[in-house]
Amino acid sequence: MPSRRLFAYLALHHQATSRGVAAAALWTDFPDAQARTNLRRALWQSPVGWVVASGDELELCATVDLEQAHATALKALEGGHLTLAEIELLSEDILPGWYEDWVLPAQDAFHLLRVQALEAACVTMTKAGMYALATQAGTAALAGDPLRESAAAALIAAHLREGNRYAASRRFTEFERTLRIELGVRPDPALAAAVNGLGVQRTAGT
């Protein structure tokens, strides 16, 4: 649907965009005249008030989840505690199944941001004794990047601080197997030591 493509494009760019630039980016395989026609159709199909046209520029005025997700990620990276709803908000990538050139860089950037934020939230909330939410955040971070050792360490530390050695051991075994299969390497020995009770239990990032 043309209007959906236009919404996504404007939401990812966070600023007013000229009609010509938007049309060329969204309909790269069409001649300029047809691309602009498609853009006009998308504008016509858009709900009233969602897209504001000022001269040659277009801007999305509707509030989108991506804005809230960025604010939530910043909150976590600055040491804030997340609610379960906020963890769930950061547990999904943006525009899954979209592979266009104007989408891919934004997808990659948001994916990294959300994993970093979830890992940071896991560490922060573990230190605060909020183990249930910490393990939720850590699980989501590791699901987003199964090879991210710092996320695995954060989640395992949360389980250990909670006193759940079985969950910590199981998570370590799963992560160790994933690393071995995908990369042919083993986890940091300090992580194994923490799980096995041979070293100091640590929270990732400390």
Report residue 199's pLDDT band, with 50, 70 and 90 as the boundaries.
Answer: very low
> Do 191 and 141 belong together in one domain?
yes
Question: How confident is the model over 4-14, as a mean pLDDT?
Answer: 84
Q: Which of 98, 95, 100, 75 is nearest to 85 (CA)?
A: 75
Question: How confident is the model over 49-57, as a mean pLDDT?
Answer: 79
Report residue 204's pLDDT band, with 50, 70 and 90 as the boundaries.
Answer: very low
Task: Give the model's pLDDT for residue 134.
Answer: 98
Task: Give the model's pLDDT for residue 149.
Answer: 96
Give domain status of residue 14, yes or no.
Answer: yes
> Do 71 and 55 belong together in one domain?
no
- If one counts the domains in the chain, the total is 2
> Do 53 and 75 belong together in one domain?
no
Is there a contact between 108 and 87 (Cβ–Cβ < 8 Å)?
no
pLDDT at 203 over 70: no
> Do 40 and 82 belong together in one domain?
no
> Do 55 and 88 belong together in one domain?
no
> Do 45 and 88 belong together in one domain?
no
Report residue 10's pLDDT band, with 50, 70 and 90 as the boundaries.
Answer: confident
Q: Is the torsion defined by CA of 93, 96, 99, 103 positive or negative?
A: negative
> Do 79 and 106 belong together in one domain?
yes
Give domain status of residue 31, yes or no.
Answer: yes
3-state secondary structure of 25: helix
* End-of-domain residue from the set 10, 33, 60: 60
Q: How far is CA 36 from CA 1, 40, 59, 68, 151, in A?
A: 15, 6, 16, 31, 45
Q: What would the pLDDT profile of 54-96 be if each residue is shown by its tens digit?
A: 778 888 776 678 889 999 999 999 999 999 999 999 999 998 8
User: Which amino acid, one-letter code, is at 98?
Assistant: W
Domain range for 47: 2-60
Report residue 5's pLDDT band, with 50, 70 and 90 as the boundaries.
Answer: confident
* End-of-domain residue from the set 60, 76, 97: 60
* End-of-domain residue from the set 37, 60, 83: 60
From the number of C-beta atoms within 10 Å of its C-beta (0-12, 13-18, 19+), residue 111 rates as middle
Per-residue DSSP letters for 123-179?
A: HHHHHTT-HHHHHHHHHHHHHH-TT-HHHHHHHHHHHHHHT-HHHHHHHHHHHHHHH
Q: What percent of the chain has pLDDT over 70?
A: 93
Task: Give the model's pLDDT for residue 206.
Answer: 40
Give domain status of residue 206, yes or no.
Answer: no
> Do 94 and 38 belong together in one domain?
no
> Do 45 and 100 belong together in one domain?
no
Q: Which residue has the tokens 């969602």?
A: 50
What is the model's pTM? 0.82
Give domain status of residue 15, yes or no.
Answer: yes
Higher pLDDT, residue 22 or 86:
86
Is there a contact between 95 and 8 (Cβ–Cβ < 8 Å)?
yes
Give domain status of residue 205, yes or no.
Answer: no
Q: What would the pLDDT profile of 97-124 be if each residue is shown by its tens digit?
A: 888 888 999 999 999 999 999 999 999 9
The rounded distance, in Å, linking the Cα atoms of 60 and 17 is 9
Quote the mean pLDDT of the chain.
88
Is there a contact between 153 and 117 (Cβ–Cβ < 8 Å)?
no
